Amino acid sequence: MPADLVISSDDAVWADGVVISQDCSSLHAPYGSTIAAMGLPVEFHCHGLGRYDFSAFATSDVAQARWLEEINALAEKESIIVVVTLFVRSGELSILEDLVQVWHCERSRNRLKNIGGFGIEGPMLASIGGTPKSGGWIPTDAEWTRISDLGRMGVIYTVVSQSSGVENARFSSVIDCLCSNGIHPALGHFPQDDVAKALKSIEITLDRAELHGVKVLTDHLFNDMPRNFRHAWRTEKEKRGRLSELMSERDVRWTSSNLEKIVGPVAAALMKAALEKKLSLCVNFDGEHVDSSVLRKTVDFVGADQIVAMTDRVDVPRLKGFHLADKPGSKLWYVNGTTVAASKSTIDDQIRLMASQLRMTDCEILKATVVNPRRFLPKIVRDNLPEDWLTQLSMHPARTSIGG
């Protein structure tokens, strides 16, 4: 435990009496200490911990309880709150309902405190990208209602985009259905070749969600969307050309007037909506999904208030049973040789990159990894976060050494 912390009920109080407030307004402490003061970071979009590929979820009640307990224990050991993010096959809804119900029941009994809820990647996605094909399908009205009902039990968001063949009115009604139970639509997996459709789906989602008072999220900013620029350099050959490509853009500061030209209309629409506080951007800070230079410009343009760090992490080479492959010198997982499917990076890896390469301030890091993601956690979680977080953190060198 940082020596200069004294704990007072829900707040952390510095020895000199400064209360760390939720809006970070009084933060001026060394990095490691401030992280400890604010509590456990959230792995907001995480596909697996340890030997678990979350999308291969257990099927019977008893097995589900044990499955959740083991995942909770892994999250507790890492001092994180994990949002269990899954791909769901058509026909698996009733198993998912059971799983979320088991978690909700246990959470109501004050257990499984390091699991912050669930996210669903899909099922309606315009572009599959590196995700398992079986996770992309178009539910019936009755199935959408069942998915929406899970919003009251612990599903926080569903990644969604307007699939081909789905009319605007139908897409509106899907967003209405999700929002009616507080599920946050997370925009992503856009069509790669239909900018107009992607923009229309953003407009519909923002309009409908605003009517319901529900904040919109995104999936990875910049990935799986039409772009005007290079956002990542991944192969050795690409990395060799990275510097010269960056030199040409180095002095270009992103502004509201040049943003669309630089990043493309889809990413620009999402970033501008974030500036208007209509959505929060989920950004992968592993430094490989998106290059660190692009991450720095994103934080500069949007500010940290509307950014939620996401890891897209899975530790084993599997995603809903699909085999993943890695490459030397990279923490990315690939399918079919070149398509990025997930990452091995942890939230602590991301915190290190934010502090060292991106030179983000303590306050910016706290907002992206702790404060902002917690705003989306279900009330049952927010009302009763793990109280032993400080003990857990004291054992965690990644968060107590950098910048301290």
Which residues have CB under 8 Å from 130's CB, separation 6+?
A: 334, 335, 339, 340, 341, 342
Tell me how far, at minimum, the Cβ of 121 lies from Zn ion, in Å.
Answer: 5
- Count of beta carbons in the 10 Å neighbourhood of residue 164: 10
Specify the residue, 347 or 366, whose C-beta has the smaller distance to Zn ion: 347
CB 351 within 8 A of CB 402: yes
Phi-psi region for residue 326, left (φ > 0), alpha (ψ -120 to 50) or beta?
beta
CA-CA distance, 114 to 95, in Å (whole number)? 22
Tell me how far, at minimum, the Cβ of 323 lies from Zn ion, in Å.
Answer: 17
CB 344 within 8 A of CB 334: no
CB 222 within 8 A of CB 290: yes
CB 155 within 8 A of CB 183: yes
- Count of beta carbons in the 10 Å neighbourhood of residue 60: 11
Which residues have CB under 8 Å from 68's CB, separation 6+?
A: 99, 102, 103, 106, 112, 115
Specify the residue, 86 or 216, whose C-beta has the smaller distance to Zn ion: 86
Question: Which residues of this chain interact with Zn ion, rule CB under 5 A?
Answer: 121, 312
CA-CA distance, 71 to 53, in Å (whole number)? 10
Specify the residue, 106 or 219, whose C-beta has the smaller distance to Zn ion: 219
Phi, psi of 51 (to 5 degrees): -85, 5
Specify the residue, 2 or 132, whose C-beta has the smaller distance to Zn ion: 132
Q: Give the CB-nearest residue to Zn ion.
A: 312
Tell me how far, at minimum, the Cβ of 311 lies from Zn ion, in Å.
Answer: 9
**DSSP string spanning 221-244?**
SSTTS--SS-----SHHHHHHHHH
Tell me how far, at minimum, the Cβ of 195 lies from Zn ion, in Å.
Answer: 23
Tell me how far, at minimum, the Cβ of 310 lies from Zn ion, in Å.
Answer: 8
CA-CA distance, 254 to 166, in Å (whole number)? 34
Q: Which residues pair with 224 in a beta bridge?
A: none
Tell me how far, at minimum, the Cβ of 347 lies from Zn ion, in Å.
Answer: 14
Tell me how far, at minimum, the Cβ of 223 lies from Zn ion, in Å.
Answer: 9
- Three-state SS at 62: helix
CA-CA distance, 379 to 365, in Å (whole number)? 23
Specify the residue, 282 or 351, whose C-beta has the smaller distance to Zn ion: 282
Specify the residue, 135 or 139, whose C-beta has the smaller distance to Zn ion: 135
Specify the residue, 163 or 311, whose C-beta has the smaller distance to Zn ion: 311
Tell me how far, at minimum, the Cβ of 303 lies from Zn ion, in Å.
Answer: 24
Tell me how far, at minimum, the Cβ of 247 lies from Zn ion, in Å.
Answer: 32
Specify the residue, 218 or 392, whose C-beta has the smaller distance to Zn ion: 218
Specify the residue, 341 or 360, whose C-beta has the smaller distance to Zn ion: 341
